[in-house]
Chains A and B, each alone.
Chain A
Amino acid sequence: MFEKLLSIDRRIIFIFVAVALILPLFLNISQYIAISPEVSKIYDGLEELKPGSKVLFAFDYDPPSAPELQPMAEAVLKYCFKNKLKVYIIGLWPQGPMQANLAIEVIRDDPQFADTPPVYDQNYVNLGFMSGNELVIQGMGSSFQSTFPRDYQGTPTADLEMMNGVNNFSNIDYIFNLSAGYPGTVEWVLFAVDRFHATLGAGNTAVQAPQIYPYFHAGQLQGLAGGLKGAAELEKLVGFYGKGTKFMLSQSFAHLTVIFFIIIGNIAYFATRGKKKQ
């Protein structure tokens, strides 16, 4: 029996995984989301900002990482718009500024923002993407306008009202980086924080998050949200619930399924190993 279990067709495992993820999408069970200290630090950092403060959003991800990072982006953007913070968007990944557009569209459609929809060049600007990875950050340390001569619509950056008096990191109060790899949070820490003394909070994909903890502990990173759980925590903290919270049930089922398979795999392995020894 255990031999059979060990040589099970992988497609059976695939079916289990699919069911574990799909089924909870149809259920409506509220779950308690515990807040981790590194995520609450992000919220603390945002809370310290006064209305009119300038927040730079670095959208360093593409559609594959959107299920984890888009809910974070939407939650923090909503917080910023609600608290009258000025939002500056850039991307070190070409898809980043388009993901930012999607998040803004969602906020525009949100009934909670029906009376105060975010307005371009009043509440936010999108400077678009620039290739060059960490060199873009290095360039921004000298001049935003030289690094991004035009915004994502092709308007000269110098003509944007919100760019008045904003030319390098010393004019930015907080940076929130959404990162799915390279270039991303590591580069922002190395260049924006350690070179130009900016304050940085980060939302990372879960794959990347464990590697970022040393920066958080060394004080180079003000706060860190990792993966979908980090997104759910951020949503809870800012009070705008979205897909981070919605997907948590599927996430729970998924983890239980993987753990179940690891345990079964180990039981089968040790049972058959004993037999082989005999």
Chain B
Amino acid sequence: MTDYDAVIIGAGHNGLVCASYLAKAGKQVLVVDGRNEPGGCASTREFSPGFNVSDCAQWFSQFDQSIVKDLDLKGAGLRLGKAKATISLQPDSDHLILDGDHITGAGIDAVDQAAYRDFRKMVRSFAKLMTTLYRSRPPKLVEQNWTDRLTLMKLGLRLKLLGRERLRDLMRIVMINIYDVMNEHFTHTALKSTIALEAVTGTNMGPRSPNTVYSYLHRATGEHLGQTGTTQVIGGMGNLGRALASAAEKQGATLKLGAAVTAIVKTNDRVTGVTLASGENISAKVVISSADPTTTFRDLLGYHQMEAGMAKRAEHYRSRSGTAKLHLALSALPTFKGLAEAQLVERLVITPPMDGMEAALNPMKYRELSDLHTFDISIPTVEDPELAPAGQHILTAIVHYVPFSPDIGWETGRPQLTNQLLSELESYAPGIGSLVTASELVVPSDFEASHGMTGGNWHHGELSIDQALMMRPFPGSTQYATAVDGLYLCGAGAHPGGGLQGLPGRNAAKEILKRGALS
């Protein structure tokens, strides 16, 4: 007799989604997490008195709508802001605005607009195809059973429906890089780099790195999965975490926060439970980890408890990131050159041309600070003033091309990089520096420490073709099961990967139920 049917490691969004679906099916589920708040990367933190920042994930754009509905997250208190346009800030203040299929500004002409519509149409058709795969367990290519065959048949049908030219395009571009694809489709420099930014954010790649087309398409699935556009969660991202937690509890799952798992317990040849930092042991029919694969296998289970080939694969799993976050507390709303106050509600991005992005990658690769960065900026207080003291504001920016651990060390590097980033911002928002009352730079190693993401990688492991779909996280531990009996994965390290989607959690729950692992 076990304490629970399933114990889930990590109360992040995927852990909670998985718990909800299992509890909904009548299973006894316990979710444990070392953090005191639910949500994992969907978290809000007061980084300076009165300033509450979404301290990890910033945008809500690809959360699967079926989960929102199934778990009644709106009823559980989830409220979203408006769908945001993307404004790509230009040095000459003639900004490029992308809103759905429409692009304006920055000298965009009819040819650019037509090219953009065509490109979007193509991306939509590919993303739709990926959505089919994302919403189901990834099919194995060999040893197929009927479920896998059905998925492959659906996929095959969709591929066929793409038409010959599209199919050829997909096969041609998916393994190349976003740099070449941009140059094929566009001539407008800022348009190219603005799109390329989507492909590299959250990764450790430059626009000329292979796999950037795949990472771009991954983000593009949001249009089909989320259907919300890029938006913010009112009250901060932590409210998504809380909504998910209350939905899970409503379904009957139990949450135990502030209780870090220190080990996955293996008895004889199967996983039988977890040990908490308090020393308490909890037994369950299965353990489902939403921690990343490196943490799960290397740190919690231990390589010595796995067969060697699997340990080797886990060790080879790549999980690096060049993405940091800058949090600023501002005494007033900043002024951006060429932007009306009302436009500050939108998503603002700053990126050098693609060659500059690629050049910015180099210092990062060699553990140095770059003098050029990309920014993905949100000023959440425009739409949600409650996040800061009255009249004051918060600016958060996803900043790319920051090394995990620079050779000069973060003690020296952190103030240096903060100043560098502020001076880069200053040229677009003159005077912003004087508004800053508090600042915080969260570097990849901080994300690893605070949110348990190995390498600071948002996706719980790099999202590249060799670590995707039926190979995620690695062969031998796919379809949410692992090579160790009784241990399952439900986090972003499982198919279809990261970003706030909830699909790994949902798919894992369905798969575990289907296998009868809890009966």
B is a partner of A: no
